[in-house]
Amino acid sequence: MHKSLLGTAMVVILLAVVGRLTANAQEQDSVAMSKILGEWLTAEGTSKIEIYKEGNEFLGRISWLKEPERDGKPRVDDKNPDAAQRSRPLLGLTILRGFSYDGDNEWTGGKIYDPKSGNDYSAKMEVIDDHTLHLRGYVLVPLFGRTETWTR
């Protein structure tokens, strides 16, 4: 009976420690995830992207354009390879999609749409600090790509 109680106590203590470690990891992940949410100024300074979470997915839409109009009309997605999409406004356009949090301040598995070229690229993001985000767009593997630095 004494060994049984000791064994039970050890299991309870072990579960409490594992539970606390899991809670700490979840708190850290929650803090890291909240760092990416909000508006980011692109490297060129010509647009801002609002990163938001929908379900388990992180997305980003164009929330501001330095030059929102061309020839007195709202700028549109005129480089889109799908002719039916070429009249949609750039303002509000979702250009980041499919990202999931991968731990260590990294979001992977996503795609970025470049309205300047009409191309889609695989992408990953990393929050460096509260004011700096590195976004890497690439073809096939991250080695074949480029990184942009976005700021708050």
Domain identity same for 27 and 41: no
CATH number for 102: 2.40.128.520
3-state secondary structure of 21: helix
3-state secondary structure of 45: coil
Return the pLDDT at 1: 52
Domain identity same for 91 and 43: yes
Domain identity same for 45 and 92: yes
Domain identity same for 92 and 133: yes
Residues in a beta bridge with 135:
125, 148
| Cα Rg, the chain, nearest whole Å | 22
Return the pLDDT at 25: 41
Return the pLDDT at 142: 81
Sign of the CA dihedral with 136 first, then 105, 41, and 120 last: positive
* Domains identified in the chain, total number: 2
Give me the amino acid identity at 28: Q
Domain identity same for 13 and 43: no
Q: Residue 9 is part of which domain span?
A: 1-35
User: Of the candidates 150, 114, 125, which has an alpha carbon nearest to the alpha carbon of residue 40?
Assistant: 150
Model confidence over 23-39: pLDDT tens digits?
Answer: 444 544 566 678 999 99
Apex CA 27: angle with CA 23 and CA 29, to 5°? 115
Phi and psi at residue 90, in whole multiples of 5°? -70, -40
Q: Check if the beta carbon of residue 52 is closer than 8 Å to that of residue 58.
A: yes
Domain identity same for 29 and 93: no
Domain identity same for 138 and 65: yes
Per-10-residue mean pLDDT of the chain, 152 residues long, equals 58 52 48 87 98 96 97 97 97 98 95 97 96 95 91 96
Return the pLDDT at 33: 78
Domain identity same for 72 and 139: yes
Domain identity same for 75 and 124: yes
Domain identity same for 79 and 17: no
Residue 28 to residues 33, 54, 131, Cα–Cα distance (Å): 9, 20, 18
